[in-house]
Amino acid sequence: MAKTAFVFSGQGAQYPGMGKSLYENSPAARAVFDMAESIRPGTLHQCFEGTKEELSVTINTQPCVFICDLAAAEAVKEKGIRADFAAGFSLGEIAAAAFAGMLSYEDAFRLVCKRAEFMDKAAKANKGAMAAVVKITPQQTEEICTHFRQAYPVNYNSPLQTVVAASEDEIDALCAMVKENKGKAVKLAVSGAFHSPFMDTAAAELSAYLEGVQLKEPEIPVYANVSARPYSGDLKQLMSEQVNHPVKWQDSVNNMIEDGADRFIEVGVGKTLTGLIKKINADVEAVNIENKEALDTL
């Protein structure tokens, strides 16, 4: 029997005006946005009217992308489409967890605001950079990282795309070594070296914050970035470790396919995950839903 996975986009996909058409055309999406606005006034303005620069600031990016993800998922659900599995890329995992009933939308939104604050603080205290490495395998990228003092593969995105994090004084040399090995490295416009030991303090603070948050077993399987398997065991540990551990996206997608998923709906901002899924397995269906037009064609 065919199964559907909802996948929730992460930080980096944001753009001015995101979510506005969903807010204007879907009552379910509007309710999610209004909830966020009641907790963090100004969120709607940032999503709908904010500049690219304003949206690129981590403490703004994460709450805005999160709420667009969750609103898109609710809009798709409103159309009568049910998710059998859920997963999110980095920040998107919190939205996936909330959608699957692991925590209330209000608690999840507050958690995301804190997560952004902790990660922003860690990024300022531990300067790092990130680069997307393409055209070579993850194993080749891992080997290149061993030549540097602080360099880590952090996002295993697809068979020929791995994102690395490194110290600011090593990133250029790492990119040069990638080129020597017939790959290509593109530095990313991000404010920190996420999903690496550079985020250890953020992970510790998030773990402490989660002590006061109630997490429940998910109503549908939520595939964790850290393990690429459905959440089980210590839920809070998995959620906090995600901040300073690699995102195993390729494995997560392959595991969902192995468990029966043959349709992936990217809910939220952009179509980055849709593109990655098609590179991981061209035989499955993958679409992105981020506005009224896409929702109508679904």
107-113: average pLDDT: 97
Which pLDDT band, with edges at 50, 70 and 90, does 259 fall under?
Answer: very high
Span 116-164, pLDDT tens digits: 999 999 999 999 999 999 999 999 999 999 999 999 999 999 999 999 9
Q: Which residue has the higher pLDDT, 191 or 80?
A: 80
The pLDDT of residue 1: 67
Note the pLDDT of residue 296.
87
Task: Provide the pLDDT confidence category of residue 190 given band limits of 50, 70 and 90.
Answer: confident
Q: Calculate the alpha carbon distances from 33 to 1, 53, 109, 137, 175 in Å.
A: 34, 21, 11, 40, 40
DSSP class of 298: -
Neighbours of 8 (CB within 10 A): 31
For residue 12, name the pLDDT band (cuts at 50, 70, 90). Answer: confident
pLDDT for 13? 83
Residues taking part in catalysis = 90, 195
Average pLDDT in the 9-27 region? 93
- Which domains can be identified in the chain, with CATH numbers? 3-124+196-297 (3.40.366.10), 128-187 (3.30.70.250)
Helix spans in the chain (H) = 20-25, 27-39, 43-49, 52-55, 58-78, 92-99, 105-125, 138-145, 171-180, 200-210, 235-241, 249-258, 272-280, 292-297
Distance CA 298, CA 276 (A): 20
Residue-wise pLDDT tens digits, 46-95: 999 999 999 989 999 999 999 999 999 999 999 999 999 999 999 999 99
User: Considering the entire predicted model, what is its pTM?
Assistant: 0.94
pLDDT of residue 65: 96
